[in-house]
Amino acid sequence: MDIPHLIIIFIALAVLAAAAVAAVILCVIAFAMLMVSVLAISVLVGFSSGNALAGVRAFFVQLGVLSGAMMGAVTALTLTHVWPAISHHGVILVMGGATGAFGGLLVALLAYRAVQLAMERFPKLRLPRTTLIPSS
């Protein structure tokens, strides 16, 4: 290989590395925005109902469904590499995400039940009723 080819290869690798860094930064920003919205919705549910347990339940359900869907899709894609006879990656992603979301929902509801038992043990842990969101 001569020098011009090595320079082109070096520039291509530098561009790929910069793209990978930008993609990781964008993923971190998207993750942070998603977690802020999950926390905001959970706090909003807790304040609007006047019960901390409702906010905790909303938090667990959201995290369970989100993490379950992602893990189900990744697991389904991994299984396509283990069993190459399985094809149609789009269908596999949808089915893996749906089953993962269902599993995450079940785990979230179990975690909610554990928190509910803790709330029964400590009944004074309540949020004040607010007038920001009118109850119907």
pLDDT tens for 38-72 read: 889 888 888 888 877 788 888 888 888 888 888 88
Q: Is residue 53 one of the residues assigned to a domain?
A: yes
User: Which pLDDT value is given to residue 57?
Assistant: 82
Q: In the chain, how many domains are there?
A: 1
User: Which pLDDT value is given to residue 75?
Assistant: 82
User: Which pLDDT value is given to residue 15?
Assistant: 93
Q: Is residue 106 one of the residues assigned to a domain?
A: yes
Q: Is residue 69 one of the residues assigned to a domain?
A: yes
Give the domain range for residue 75. 38-121
Q: Tell me the Cα Rg of the chain.
A: 23
Q: Is residue 130 one of the residues assigned to a domain?
A: no
Within a 10 A sphere around the Cβ of 136, how many other Cβ atoms? 3
Q: Is residue 29 one of the residues assigned to a domain?
A: no
Stated pTM of the model: 0.62
Q: Is residue 93 one of the residues assigned to a domain?
A: yes
Q: Is residue 1 one of the residues assigned to a domain?
A: no
Phi-psi region of 88 (alpha: psi -120 to 50; beta: other; left: phi over 0): left
Q: Is residue 47 one of the residues assigned to a domain?
A: yes
pLDDT tens string, the chain, 136 residues long: the values are 688 888 999 999 999 999 999 999 998 998 889 888 888 988 888 888 887 778 888 888 888 888 888 888 888 878 777 777 666 767 777 888 888 888 888 888 888 888 778 777 877 765 555 555 555 5
Q: Which amino acid, residue 48?
A: S
Helix (H, G, I), strand (E, B) or coil at 126: coil
**Averaged confidence pLDDT in the chain:** 81
Task: Work out the burial of residue 95: count CB atoms within 10 Å of its CB; fewer than 13 is exposed, 13-18 middle, 19 or more buried.
Answer: middle
